Structure 1
Amino acid sequence: MSSPLSREDVAHLASLARISLTDTELDRLGAELPAILDHVAAVQSVVESAGGDVAPMSHPVPVTNVFRVDEVRAGLTPEAALAGAPASEEQRFLVPKILGEE
């Protein structure tokens, strides 16, 4: 594991990320960030050792499109769509007026 980062290093990284940290957070992250960087380095070494054999991916499991084929089908007629409406007018749902509309 790498040595802890200095408080100034952590403060500089926080300013680059536009994150404000308290003094306690600066001290805690100074000890935690090297472990995080070691893990990133381990992942990077695996990627480099794989060479060009492994294709980049966004998911560990293949993702496929689950949508059905877009087919034209008969839809409702205006009369059928409005059949259950309490009131309709000119092939539209009729609703009470609101906000003093005329």
Structure 2
Amino acid sequence: MTEDAVTPEAVRHVAALARVDLEDDEVDQFTEQFADILAAFETLDSVPDVDTDADLTNVMRADEVRESLETDAALRNAPDSEDDYFKGPNVS
């Protein structure tokens, strides 16, 4: 893409669509920035395509039966509990 692919008129047009008032020095600044952004996207266009199919595998571990905490131990550090359950703040 050439340097003049983004023109000050194009920047003014985009600014007008966005209902943003730009000073002349801001238009010049944004013209350069937009050109840099478009150049970065051109770099992405040069990334080669990858032609591999992903092998899907189960990455989850198998369930295991293990000992769990007793209710008293689980609630020991809870700020508040009620009837052997954690008690949280009211949400309304």
Q: Normalising TM by the smaller chain, what interval?
A: 0.3 to 0.5
TM-score (norm 1): 0.44
